[in-house]
A = this chain, B = another copy of it.
Amino acid sequence: MKTEESFKELLFNSPESVFYNISKDDKEYLLKNTECRSYKKNELVFLENTKPSGLICLSEGKVKIFKEGAGGRDQIIRLSRPGGFIGYRALFAGQNYHASAVSIEVSIACTIEKNALFSVMKNDPNLSFAMLSSLATELGVSNMRTVSLTQKHIRGRLAESLLFLIETYGYFDDGLTIKALLSREDIASLSNMTTSNAIRTLSTFAQEGVIALEGRRIKVVEIKMLQKISNIG
């Protein structure tokens, strides 16, 4: 089955994966306790306030993790890419999800059953350490994001979001177009601003020659400018 193959490759045979160095037996055991399923665009992966059943690993596609804020305005907390985990914070905290997850394009996500994962982790301190390191790194990102979102002005926040998209998803083959076709609303939710202001500021950037817009495609023309705008706030 194709979906399981790509999952296996990504999770167990990629050197960046936290599962790369676990024993062959453990890999087989985890694989036996994993279920994959596919999601179409805009489908719910998990809902705020429900209980995690395992570690969800994104195998293909893109998923947004977001919280509803005051007045229905969403705040995107994180974007996931293939090979990344979703909802592991709640799992390890022993809590319900604090946010919801929705696919932003056709995706495949696989869930490693909680008890199977925990039993492997108990026997392999390195795996626990890798998870610890991963969570700690994400907490650092979250803290920096808090400061950026609260202190930078609209232009700085949008520029930072675009740089974040580039970092997370890279470019299409042209080496210029950001490989993520978000709606203007999602760009706004990522940058903590209204949709109107996201649109307006994007078109200002385009007028200034920093980026070029073709529908949802965003071409990065002057990345140095983008970095400068992000840094000055």
Size of interface on A: residues with Cβ below 8 Å to B: 46
Residue of B nearest to A128 (CB): B128
Q: What mask results when residues 72 to 103 of chain A are scored 1 for a CB within 8 Å of chain B, else 0? A: 01010100000000001111111100110000
The reply to whether A143 and B70 contact each other, CB–CB distance below 8 Å, is: no
The reply to whether B192 and A89 contact each other, CB–CB distance below 8 Å, is: no
Partner of A125, one of B77, B122, B192: B122
Interface centre among A90, A132, A140 (most CB of B within 10 A): A132
Closest-CB distance, A136 to chain B (whole angstroms)? 4
The reply to whether A132 and B77 contact each other, CB–CB distance below 8 Å, is: no
Task: Tell me if A49 is interfacial: C-beta within 8 Å of chain B.
Answer: no
The reply to whether A136 and B77 contact each other, CB–CB distance below 8 Å, is: no
A3: which B residues are within 8 A, CB to CB? none
